[in-house]
Chain A
C-alpha cells in the first residue's frame, strides 16, 4: 500500500488499556471490540486495497453514549473515525491504528414517519433503501439512490453527500435532507434544521453534508419524502461511436429534457456486462445509453417520443423503448451488474469518480484510452452521463506485483485529466484517503487552508477522522495566524478603483 497516514501517536497507544476500560464503563461488554479477530471485520471499508486495524471498535446505541465517547476521546486526546455501513469507496471510514472506530450500525431505527409533512426522522445506521421501503405503501420514497443503497446507511450518505442514478433530476443527499442532529468532538450536541426548509443562519447542515466524518458525528437525520412518480419508462439507445452517444446526451439536455436517469456505458463495459450475464445489450456498439423518463404517464410518453427522435438524428443504431415495467427493469439489469461484470474480467478493479463538463465527454474518453495504453492497463467506463459523472473502472490484478501501483498512477492521471477540462476529482464517492493527495490538482494552498480553518471551528485538535481529505494537516494555531502582507499595507486612498 502506497498510502501514507499520520504516524500513530505513542501517547494514545500507551493508553489503550485505560481507554478500553473507560469505554466499557460507557458501553456494554459486547459493544467494545478490542481483540484482533473481532476488529478484523472493521479493518477496511469498500476501498479494500487499504486496510488498517483500529485501536478499538465502539458500537454505541444511544445518543448519550455517543456524547460520552466523544467527551472521553477529547479528554484522552484520542482520535475517532465514524463509520456507517462501511461502503465508502474512498476510504472515508478506513480505521486509524490510534483511533476509536465509532461504528453507528446499532442506530438502526426509523424514529418517525410524518406523511403530512413529507418527512421522516431516522437514525444514521438505517439503510438508504429501508427508508423508501418503509414508505412505499403510501406511495412515497426517498430520492437519492446510490448503487449500494441496499447496504449503505443514511448517516454515511450524509457524510459523503451521496448521489445515485436519479440525482440529475432529484438532487443529491444535500438537496434531500431537512434536519440533522450531530455530536461534536467533546460531546456537545447540535441540532440543525428540522421539518421546515431553510433555517436562517449559516447552513451548517449543508456544510456537514459531504464533510466525510471530519466535523461531527451524525446521530439523527430528517429526510424529505417525495411522492413516487406515477410511471417510468426506459429507453435503450446504442451508438456506433462514443461521440454519437455523447452528442445524444448533450442534445437531450439542450432540448430542455431532464431525464430521471441518463446512464452511459462504453464498448468494454457493454461487452463485459453481456459476457457476465446476457441482457440483450448490442455488443457491437461503441456506446450505450439508458435513458429513464419518469412522471405523469402522458408526459413520459411524450418525452419518450422526443428522446427517440433526438437519438435517431444523431445516428443511434438501436432505439428500444420499454413497453412494460419488466422491460424497463431489463434495461437496467445489465447496468446494475456492470461493476461485478467488470470485476469478473479484472480480476480486480479500481473505480474512479471524476465529474467533467458533459461537452468534453468524447475528448476525455479518448484521452483515457491513450492513458490506458501508456499505463498498460485496461479501462471500462460506466457513468452517470446526465451529470457528467464518470466511473472509469481500471482493471488490474492485485496478485501481480506492481499492478496496484500502476492502477493508482493510472487513476491519478484520469482525475488530473478531469480537472484539466474543467471537472472535479470526485462526483459522489468522496475524497477520503483515495484522492487526498490529488487535492492540490484542484485547489490552491489558500483554498485548502480555508477549508481546514472550517475544520478548526469544529475540531481544533484534529481528532475526528484525521488523515482523510487533506493532503497535509496544518495546525489550527498556524492556520489562524493573520499575515499582513508587507507588514504595513497603507490604508487605502479612497476612492481607488
Chain B
C-alpha cells in the first residue's frame, strides 16, 4: 500500500486536500498496532501519522502534556515516569490484545479508540483526559478544539467526538492531555475461589464502600481470583485494606507494588484470555449484570473459551470459538458488544461495532458528513456509512 507520511500540519493538510481532490480514500494509522481492529478500510493509500512525533509541551505542575499524534505511547509514558506521573486512563496495549507484539501504539491511536483500562471506573477513559487537539478534517481543512487547561466549555466539546472516532472524522496532528500523579503506593487484595456471581456480588458491595478501590476484576479462568486495587499513601492503603478484609473475610492474598502492577497490566491487556478461542469480544454492560449476561450466553450455547470481568463486572471480555456470534450476543443485551479480534472473514461478515437504532445511526452519519462529506478518512472502519 502506498504511504503518505506528513511531517507537519501543513503536509497533513496537503495530503488530505489532495485525497479529497482526487476522491481517493485514506487509511489512517499511527504505528498500525490496531490495524486488525474494526472493519477493513476501503482505501488504497495509507496516511501515517508516524512523523507527527514528539512532545512539544510537558508541564508537570500544570498536569498537562502536548505531543504529536504519532508520538509512541511508550515515549510519553517514559517521560511521565521520570516525574512520577502517568496517563491515568491506563490505555490498554492493543498490540497484545490483537495478537501482535507488545508495547506499540501512539497517543493518537489511544485517543482514536478511546482507550481505557481498569482505572476507567475511577479516572475515566481517554475521552476524559483529552483537553484539546489540532486536526485536519476530511474536508482537508485544519481545525482545533479544546485547549490546554483543565476546565473549558468554550464551544462544542469536539474532543469527545474525536475520542473513539477511529480516525473517521479528522486526522489529529497534535494532542493535549491531562496527566496525573502516580499513587505513592499500590496493592491488590485478591479473594480466591469465588464463582462469577459471587465475585460480582462482592465487587458490587465493595464499590458502594468509601474504600476508593481503583480496580475491580474477576479472573474466572484462574480458579476464580477476584482482585481489588487500592492506591494512595501507604497509611491509607493499609487502612482501606483492613476495611475490605473485615467486610469480605480475612482469607485474601495481598499483592504488593510490583505484583499488584503485574496483576492489573494483565487485566488491562486481557492476558488471561491470550491464546483462547478464535475471537475476542468486549461487552460493556451495567456492572451488576456482568455474570448474569455471561450465564445467559452460556445457556444459549455460545462456545465460550474464556471470560474475564473488569470494571466491577461492567466490562466483560469473552473468548469464543469459531462461528458467527454477533446476533446471539446482542439479542436482549442492555449495553454494547464489540468484536475486538476475529479473522478477517468473520469481521467482514459481522457487525464489529454494536448496531445502532436507525435514528442514532442516521444522526451519526450526518455527523460524519459534517467532517468528511466525501468519506475520505478510514471509510467503512466503523461500519456502513461511517
Give the B-binding residues of A (Cβ under 8 A).
114-119, 138-140, 160-161, 163, 167-168, 171-172, 174-175, 184, 188-192, 194-207, 209-211, 227-230, 250-251, 253-254, 256-258, 295-299, 302-303, 355-359, 384, 387-389, 422-431, 435, 439, 442-444, 446-451, 453-458, 469, 480, 482, 484-485, 488-492, 494-497
Contact = CB atoms under 8 A, between A and B. Distances in A.
Interface string B143-168: 11101111111111111110111000
B193 to A, nearest CB: 23
A210 B164 CA distance: 18
Given A199-B354, A207-B161, A228-B210, A482 B139 contact: yes
A210 B151 CA distance: 12
B154 A425 contact: yes
B236 A450 contact: no
B353 to A, nearest CB: 4
B35 to A, nearest CB: 18
23 contacts: A119-B286, A161-B157, A168-B150, A202-B165, A203-B164, A204-B161, A204-B367, A206-B160, A207-B161, A210-B157, A228-B210, A256-B182, A258-B181, A295-B236, A302-B235, A355-B152, A387-B149, A426-B152, A450-B158, A457-B367, A482-B20, A482-B373, A495-B3
Interface residues of B, number: 107
B17 A457 contact: no
B164 A202 contact: yes
Contact of A161 (B141, B153, B184, B235): B153
B363 interface: yes
A116 B207 CA distance: 9
A14 B285 CA distance: 51
B10 to A, nearest CB: 10
B233 interface: yes
Given A172-B151, A424-B149, A482-B139, A117 B363 contact: no
Given A115-B208, A171-B128, A496-B4, A196 B285 contact: yes
Contacts of B102: none
Contact of A484 (B4, B21, B157, B314): B21
A495 B5 contact: yes
A169 to B, nearest CB: 10
Contacts of B120: 197-198
B173 interface: no
Interface stretch (B69-77, B220-228, B254-262, B334-342): B334-342
Interface in B337-359: 338, 353-354, 356-357, 359
Nearest to A306: B233
Contacts of A184: 359, 363
Nearest to A295: B212
B371 A229 contact: no
A450 B143 contact: yes
B370 interface: yes
A257 B124 CA distance: 18
Contact of A116 (B142, B288, B359): B288
B208 A296 contact: no
Interface string B20-53: 1110100000000000000000000100000100
B15 interface: yes
B287 interface: yes
A398 B287 CA distance: 54
A298 B239 contact: yes
B284 interface: yes
A199 B284 CA distance: 7
A482 B140 CA distance: 9
Contacts of A469: 155
A458 B363 contact: yes
A451 B160 contact: no
A447 B311 contact: no
A439 B165 contact: no
B104 interface: no
B161 A197 contact: no
Nearest to A489: B21
B303 interface: no
B114 A198 contact: yes
Contacts of A422: 147-149
B127 interface: yes
Nearest to B23: A491
A422 B236 CA distance: 37
Question: Which of A140, A297, A482 is the most central at the interface, judged by chain B CB atoms within 10 Å of its CB?
Answer: A482
B374 interface: yes
Contact of B144 (A167, A206, A209, A447): A447
A389 B3 CA distance: 43
Given A139-B210, A201-B382, A227-B209, A195 B286 contact: yes
